[in-house]
Structure 1
Amino acid sequence: MDGFLLTYDGFDPRTEGLREALTSTGNGYLCTRGAAEWEDADGVHYPGTYAHGGYNRETTMMGGLPVLNEDLVNLPNWLVLQVRVEGEDAIRFDDVELLGYRHEYDIRHATVLRRLRFRDHAGRETTLTSRRFVSMADAHHAGIEWTLVPENWSGHVEVISALDSRVTNSGVPRYRQLEGRHLNPVSPRTFGPEVIALKAETRQSNIYISQATRTRVFQGGEQLPATRTLYQMEDYIQQVLAFDVRQGEATRVEKMVAFYTSRDPAVSDTLVRAARSAARHSDFAGASERHGAAWEELWRTCDVGASGNEQVQLLLRLHIAHLLQVCSPHTADLDAGMPARGLNGEAYRGHVFWDEIYAFPFFNVRLPEVTRGLLMYRYRRIGEARAAAREAGFRGAMFPWQSGSEGVEETQRVHLNPLSGRWEPDLSRNQRHVNAAIFFNIWNYFQATSDYAFLESYGAEMMLDIARFWASIAHFNSARERYEIHGVMGPDEFHEKYPGAQQGGLRNNAYTNVMVAWLCDIAAKLPSLLSASSAEGLRARLGIGDDELALWQDMSRRMFVPFDSGGIISQFEGWDELEELDWDAYRAKYENIQRLDRILRAEGDDPDRYKIAKQADTVMLFFLFSDEELREIFERLGYDYGSDTAARNIAYYDQRTSHGSTLSFVTHAGVLAALDPESSWERFLVALRSDVDDIQGGTTQEGIHMGVMAGTLEVVQRYYAGTQIRDGVLYFTPRLPSGLDGLSFPLQFRETPLLVTLGGGQLTVAVHPDGASHPIRAGIPGDVRELCPGDRAVFGLA
């Protein structure tokens, strides 16, 4: 098995949507699904293209009520490339007999390939090879190359090359009752004999999108002077290139495309800019070579070598490739967040959630500029977060659970239950823990990079305003002499409210309260980490007095954490009063019970009644923090934290979790690495295969899961290699599972590039000779060494 090649033999219409998502090609600016160029959106195929920040808001009237939603827009289809033989209809899968078919994805260079032999109804046999990429070397370029070989015929051929803005957002079945039209036509144009271009505008957000393409035909290495015919409408333009082919001889078609939007810098007219860029485009071979070189540079920084299991190696690299297609160095210069479903489909409407908490650890130590850029997406929306807090009666900054273009709350008020067919209230906007996640992400970026410039200019301001929000949403219970937080949801999502309650939200979600205790401790000390002038200016600008710092310090010592009578951390106050579910009965009744909430509601029941969890909630604490860190937090709060606290809580919740989110397998794989290595490895393999096998039954074709793809890499990095940064030291506590012989990966710690190798009972940390001039401290517990550029340290492992 090639460690960089994903292959599919034979065409299967039932899985084509999944294959399209998994073989997407992108560069951190835009991404296009791996659909065949000659197919339209028809229920089997869905040729979607998406760009960071390309949002539009539309209203749907449902039962006389307006329902407003913002979507990441499916942009005009630039793929259209079709062939007609002897004036007949354009070739499509349904119209020919496939004699051979192979769909490949070159993971190393994010290139999609198709090789097909087909026989048409006249008995003509043809081989068509298609290669396509979205350039990592130039964010605005892409290319398609076709190689046509007529095997038993010669004759006249026409190739249709088009740009089509007659597209809608219709890739997610449960959203199809909602308005999916997002584009208005502006104009098609031609620029000389070879370049056609098309301009569209989003209907509400008024973003201009322009595409231009130059299509050429080559035979025997020479450009063929094909006859060109133009046809255009206000939202579609095509050029038909006519030429003759001879039996057994290859003809190449190159379609080179340029993309620009009005969000791009240094652009006046997007249409003219795209056309000029397309005309200047090099040939396919040259563009492909530069694209490949850019990817090779990324792999030198981002590869994770895993020996002992070829399939694990392949899927880890597939996940890395997808992360880099959505968030690359190109992204760092954009105003972009990380959509939870990438740029590969329309699920979650392209919104930004908390899934970045799983992805940032990968970028922090490889491409920290990407994390910095994604954190700036949050900073640019701090004004909306402050407004949201004020409108809700709080202080500070309250970031939304779902974020889009402006940083306002984009969570739907209703969602469709596909099992019952009913629209149900959606209370998930109460997942205020996203604010703790943003604080966590900023702090850990700083720990990995020591980027004081970012902290002083942007990060500290967000962190202090988030702490201020938590202090205002919390209240002091004098009877308990503890701070409490009411009216929120934890990560679980099955529990939106108490059984029978009209109002949403829960009291004292343990995960939320512990996170707040942790972040308040850091926030109280944060001004002391800044330069005197920065700290003084920031405190003056935000109006932070000593009393507020003292309040945060007090909250870090007196947050309330609920426990049940057996000493288990209660997921939220009142958890122990809920009913136990008959898990065996539901497993016997339903093939898949991951989405128990939908099953129970379809039965007329209520998931709020039961001790069940969709995904890791309380267990998230043991994933994000080490045992030492949690012991420190709980002891500061005055609660016992024993040697078996983690094991007991993880086992308790594992029995009551349906793993309705693939993130849950990631979390449990991580926390079980030290407690139950075999079970950890089993969960890891489920998470690793969750998208490629589409274990949630059709969701991956709606967009890959960025969190789980990044999360598998975090399990390898944080738990199997044991990588952790604490108090300025890069620690390793390896727990290599039996399924792997060794690991090897590059890291960058505080501007110092390293190569980490694990296997054969030892850990090797090699510092690149051209690293930063300052030394770093790294090692295993009990053996921390100071390493300078060129140093190589070997640690023996028990």
Structure 2
Amino acid sequence: MTISHTGPIDTASDTASDTDAAFTLAYDGVDPRDEGLRETLTSTGNGYMATRGTAEWEEADDVHYPGTYAHGLYNRATTLLGGVPVHNEDLVNLPNWLPLKLRIGGVEVLRLADVEILDYRHRLDLRAAVLTRHLRFRDREGRETELVSRRFTSMASMHHAYLEWTLTPLNWSGPAEVVSAIDGRVTNDGVPRYRDLEGVHLHPVGAEFPESEVMALKTRTRQSEVTVSVAARTRVLAVGRPVEVPRSDFRTPDHVQQTLHLDLERGVPVTVEKSVALFTSRDPATGDTLVRAHRSVARSRSFESALAHHRESWNRLWQACDVQVFGDDEAQHLLRVHISHILQTCSPNTADLDAGVPARGINGEAYRGHVFWDELFVLPFLTYRLPGVTRSLLMYRYRRLAEARAAARAAGRAGFMFPWQSGSLGTEETQEVHLNPMSGKWDVDLSHNQRHVSAAIFYNVWQYITTTEDTMFLESQGAELMLGIARFWSSVAHYSSDRERYEIHGVMGPDEYHEKYPGAAEGGLRNNAYTNVFVAWICDIAAHLLDLLPAPRADAVRARLELRDEEIERWKDISRRMFVPFHDGIISQFEGYDDLEELDWDAYRAKYGDIQRLDRILKAEGDTPDRYKLAKQADAVMLSFLFGDDELRRIFTRLGYEFPDDAARRMIEYYDRRTSHGSTLSYITHAGVLARFDPDSSWERFTVALRSDVGDIQGGTTREGIHMGVMAGTVDLVQRFYAGMRAEGGMLHLEPNLPGAIDGVSFTVIYQRSPLTVTVMRDEVVIRHRDGVIDATPVRVRVAGRERLVAVGGEERFSLA
């Protein structure tokens, strides 16, 4: 096999325009070491489902991993480890609809390992998530063949995906066969460290050939009992017109295929189109999923017609969601890679689903497809562009209040305690043991003590309300969510008569490396600063939340929650008397942090090189990160990332603490030296905080986050799924920290902090139902109100301390000279 590899390139061809280059993720040659990463980054999704960018002719092995996933479709399985049952719920790998295999002269030839590759190009058009492979190869008989493969998952018709082959014999003529299949013999096997755990989630129901060109496969998840049906129509076209060819059918209960018999002529291209429909029993107006899938695919458009419709939908999304960066072509390109993947996971198609934000997208199996706190980094991008999608994602949490209430009650608490990892039901899905790949041992996992996920949900709802003024959501669901979370934190906080302040014990902060105190039998820490300050802010907002509602709605929420006046008074008290730990004038990560040992960072870097995952390194050595002043990712620094100096000063002043002008700078300088950035989210947080007083250092960290998935800087994790929080976080950094945009007090504020590496940024947002274009350059900020929305209203903005009203259809310019 001839292999050439140039890695990621940002040109579509030698003659590509600059626009094409900025919207193309491209690879030349084949590199087996890199294929898993490429398959993730060239996935095709539409917010309802996504398929990895695996070549159609490849099967799962150590190099390739085909996978198709539907947003929010999970199944639970149990594994016996040492006689102990371990339960895990996974985002299910669904039947593989991709298989198209080529036989020439009766021999299956199209496996790249079996042919000489003369030319191989692999492209993802980010503008519409269209994946193209251009392949020219020579088989063992000396026959040279050209194959152009195109595929997409339709943004315009959410249940449909399309695949097209154009085959051209270059130096031969003769018979050939194309095998088109739907394979239900799939498992969840895409993450090596999970392979000791049960990965079989599908039970075959049956296969059919309802029409001559159509085949269909029906399966059911083994525990959650979700029926999944996939139907495919395969056609052959010559000179753009369908032609009849002989077909051979074969089926088993979990596999169905058709063999198309072709006569190929030298130099004459032939096209094979495969259109697919996927339906599940979770979908509305579906009935029998097999019948629904069959009927839908039989009526599906031709490839070209469907592609045009698909591109129109993506064009509208880019008009709403593109972010321009002037002066750095690489940053511009990578931001568009990120935006494309965000929209593949969460698009307008997601708005009708009961689904959350999976931390690793829907193109891989890492984190088992669970929903964590990463929505904290994702929703700011969506809320300003696709607020209906944000509303739907918040409804995922609201629909699971019963489980959050039950979890709080089981823990001896009140209100709503949301799980650190959530799946189908909203129960705690965090594993009890976790495999350390460095030691090969299963360690106890205490990360479920990260109760700050409930604080993140409160914050997300409040940011959505502030940005959109969606009072209907606040009245119907939002207020109940927020007040129930405040009630939970009030029940966690306890009053210390010695300190005359409230304290919170037994939790973990975002850091994750510190699970407990050295030598302690119980998990959790005392007075994690991030948690305590966050709770003080929550209690202040919650205490006044009902004042924002009409009296009848406020009364209804009170009655539903059985909310008492004394609870509200307690929230006010907590907001004024929460304890916050300090040492050396710095906010301590948690009480007792200053008593821990300093780590010899230089020694560990010299010994291991990459020390991002210090926890695994230390545990493999028989040590523990609990002993040291370190952090996996930003913890106390997160406060400045979420709230900014002005808001933090208000919180600390209310608590009776000082918050000097240089507090954020001193805090990040202290913790930056003690953070391994074991999560790429940490680079987002540090970059955001640094933007206000050291934009160039911020940009250094920003570019690490920007390249993290495309460069796979964590050594193989991206092949298991994108990192949604990081991808969305980079876009949020541009709008919220470099443009300095925030919504507060019924006004849009901008305080630009452009780093020296760029000349400016421009993006579109929807603020309070009004569409705006925001352009921030070094010497000027321009805000244009784009007319065309029925209920658009003038928008009040404040730029660098100057306040103006932007009229509907108008424009305001602010000089920064």
Is 1:580 aligned with 2:598? yes
Deviations 1:435-469 (A, max 9, x none): 00000000000000000000000010010000000
| Counterpart in the other structure of 2:390 | 371
Task: Using the TM superposition, give the Cα deviation of residue 781 of structure 1 relative to its aligned residue in structure 2, in angstroms.
Answer: 3.7
CA offset at residue 760 of structure 1? 4.5
Q: Paired residue for 1:74?
A: 93
Are 2:413 and 2:488, in contact at CA under 8 Å, matched by a contact in 1?
A: yes
Is the Cα contact below 8 Å between 2:25 and 2:123 reproduced in 1?
yes
Aligned to 1:239: 258
- Match of 2:592, as an amino acid? G
CA shift digits 1:235-283 (9 cap, x unpaired): 0000000010100111111000001000000011000100001100111
Q: 1:89 aligns with which of 93, 97, 108?
A: 108
Question: Does 2:576 align with 1:557?
Answer: yes
Matched, 1:686 2:707: no
1:356-395 equivalence runs, <5 A: 356-395=375-414
Aligned amino acid, residue 305 of structure 2: G
Alignment of 1:432-451 (within 5 A): 432-451=451-470
Alpha-carbon separation, structure 2, partners of 1:779 and 1:35: 48
1:570 to 569, 588, 601: 588
Mapped partners of 2:434, 2:252: distance in 1: 37
- Contact 2:109 2:139 survives alignment (8 Å): no
Alignment partner, residue 814 of structure 2: 795
Instruction: Work out the CA distance in 2 between the residues paired with 1:781 and 1:542.
Output: 42
Q: Is the 8 A contact 2:109 2:115 kept in 1?
A: no
For 1:375, the aligned partner's letter is: L
Report whether the alignment pairs 1:658 with 2:683: no
Q: Please tell me whether residue 119 in structure 1 is matched to residue 138 in structure 2.
A: yes
- Counterpart of 2:647 (choices 629, 638, 652) is 629
Distance 1:773 1:716 in 2: 25
Q: 2:685 aligns with which of 646, 651, 667?
A: 667
Give 1:5's match in structure 2, choosing from 13, 16, 24.
24
Q: What SS is found at the alignment partner of 2:76? A: strand
Contact 2:101 2:108 in 1 (8 A): no
What letter corresponds to residue 82 of structure 1 in structure 2?
K
Name the residue aligned to 1:325: 344
Q: Which residue of 1 aligns with 2:319?
A: 300
Counterpart of 2:4? none
Residue 603 (str. 1) matches residue 621 (str. 2)? yes
| Residue 409 of structure 2 corresponds to residue 411 of structure 1 | no
**Which of 201, 213, 237 is equivalent to 1:194?**
213
Matched-pair contact (CA < 8 Å) for 2:754–2:778:
no
1:481 aligns with 2:500: yes
Structure 1 window deviating more from structure 2 (737-746 vs 483-492): it is 737-746
Q: Paired residue for 2:7?
A: none
Q: CA deviation at 1:537?
A: 1.2
| TM-score scaled by length of structure 1 | 0.99
Per-residue CA distance 1:350-405 (angstroms, 9 max, x = gap):
00000000011111110000100000000000000000000000000000000000
Q: Which runs of 5+ in 1 are unaligned?
A: none
Answering whether residue 57 of structure 2 is matched by residue 38 of structure 1, we say: yes
Q: State the distance in 1 between where 2:619 and 2:225 align.
A: 40
Note the C-alpha offset of 1:626.
Answer: 1.5
Alignment equivalent of 1:493, drawn from 512, 529, 540: 512
1:779–1:795 CA contact under 8 A, matched in 2: no
Residues 774-789 of structure 1 mapped to structure 2, 5 A cutoff: 774-789=793-808
Residue 730 of structure 1 corresponds to: 748
Please say if residues 85 and 158 of structure 1, whose CA atoms lie closer than 8 Å, have aligned partners that are also in contact: yes
Counterpart of 1:658, as a letter, is S
Amino acid at match of 1:687: A
Instruction: Give a deviation string over 1:633-657, Cα, whole Å, max 9, x none.
Output: 0010000100110100010000000
3-state SS, counterpart of residue 273 of structure 1: helix
**What SS does the corresponding residue of 2:382 show, helix, strand or coil?**
helix
| Aligned equivalent of 1:647 | 665
Q: For residue 634 of structure 2, what is the amino acid of its counterpart?
A: A
Tell me how far apart the structure 1 counterparts of residues 36 and 373 of structure 2 sit (CA, whole Å). Answer: 26
**Map of 2:548 onto structure 1:** 529
C-alpha deviations, 1:215-245, integer Å up to 9, x for none? Answer: 0111122222110000000100000000101
Tell me how far apart the structure 1 counterparts of residues 605 and 431 of structure 2 sit (CA, whole Å): 30
Is 1:740 paired with 2:758? Answer: yes
Distance 2:315 2:44 in 1: 16
In the alignment, the residues of structure 2 paired with residue 218 and residue 86 of structure 1 have an alpha-carbon distance, to the nearest angstrom, of 21
What is the deviation of 1:757?
Answer: 1.0
Shift of 1:581: 0.3
Alignment of 1:721 onto 2:739: yes
Report which stretch shifted further, 45-54 or 694-703.
45-54
Other-structure match for 1:346: 365
In the alignment, which residue of structure 2 is the partner of 1:750? 768
Offset of 1:544 from its aligned partner? 1.0
Identity %: 63
**Alignment of 1:264 onto 2:283:** yes
Q: Partner of 2:414: helix, strand, or coil?
A: coil
Segment drifting more, 269-278 vs 772-781: 772-781
- What is the TM-score with the length of structure 2 in the denominator? 0.97
Shift of 1:769: 2.1
What amino acid does structure 1 have at the position aligned with 2:99? V
Conservation of the 8 A alpha-carbon contact between 1:86 and 1:156: yes
Give me the whole-angstrom Cα distance separating, in 1, the residues matched to 2:732 and 2:777.
Answer: 18
Find the residue that maps to 1:758 and give its secondary structure.
strand
Determine if contact 1:773/1:788 at 8 Å carries over to the other structure.
no
Contact 2:415/2:487 (CA < 8 Å) preserved in 1? yes
Give 1:304's aligned amino acid: V
- Structure 2 runs not aligned, ≥5 long: 1-10, 12-20
Per-residue deviation at 1:777?
0.6
Alpha-carbon separation, structure 2, partners of 1:743 and 1:218 = 46
Of the three residues 156, 162, 173, the one matched with 2:181 is 162
- Partners of 1:736 and 1:89 lie apart in 2 by 56
From 333, 340, 347, the counterpart of 1:314: 333
Q: In the TM superposition, what are the counterparts of 1:246-261 in structure 2 within 5 Å?
A: 246-261=265-280
CA deviation string 1:650-702 (max 9, x = no partner) = 10000000000000011111111122222111100000000000000000000
Report the more deviating stretch, 294-303 or 755-764: 755-764
What amino acid maps onto 2:73 in structure 1? G
SS of equivalent to 1:528: helix
2:720 matched residue in structure 1: 702
Question: Which residue identity is paired with 2:715?
Answer: G
1:96-175 matched pairs, under 5 angstroms: 96-175=115-194
Q: In the alignment, residue 609 of structure 1 is paired with which amino acid?
A: R
State the distance in 1 between where 2:674 and 2:110 align: 52
| Distance in 1 between residues matched to 2:641 and 2:300, nearest whole Å | 47
Measure, in 1, the Cα distance between the counterparts of 2:688 and 2:816.
20
Q: Deviations over 1:418-446 (max 9, x none)?
A: 00000000000000000000000000000
Aligned residue pairs, count? 797
SS in 2 for 1:625: helix
1:262-307 per-position Cα deviation (integer Å, ceiling 9, x unaligned): 0000011000100001100111000000000000010010000111
Tell me whether 1:467 sits opposite 2:456 in the alignment.
Answer: no
Q: Distance in 1 between matches of 2:363 and 2:232?
A: 22
Q: Structure 1 CA distance, aligned partners of 2:137 and 2:599?
A: 54
**5 Å matches for 1:213-224?**
213-224=232-243
- Matching residue of 1:547: 566
Find out whether 1:287 has 2:306 as its counterpart: yes
Question: Does the Cα contact within 8 Å between 2:518 and 2:626 map onto a contact in 1?
Answer: yes
Q: Distance in 1 between matches of 2:293 and 2:242?
A: 23
What is the alpha-carbon root mean square deviation over aligned residues? 0.7
Aligned counterparts of 1:568 and 1:671: Cα–Cα separation in 2 = 15
Give the C-alpha shift of residue 192 in structure 1: 1.4
What SS is found at the alignment partner of 1:464?
Answer: helix
Aligned partners of 2:90, 2:768: CA distance in 1, in Å?
37
Structure 1 CA distance, aligned partners of 2:401 and 2:726?
27
Contact preservation (8 Å) 2:769, 2:792 = no
Structure 1 contact 770–789 (Cα < 8 Å) conserved: no
Structure 2 distance, partners of 1:760, 1:612, is 37
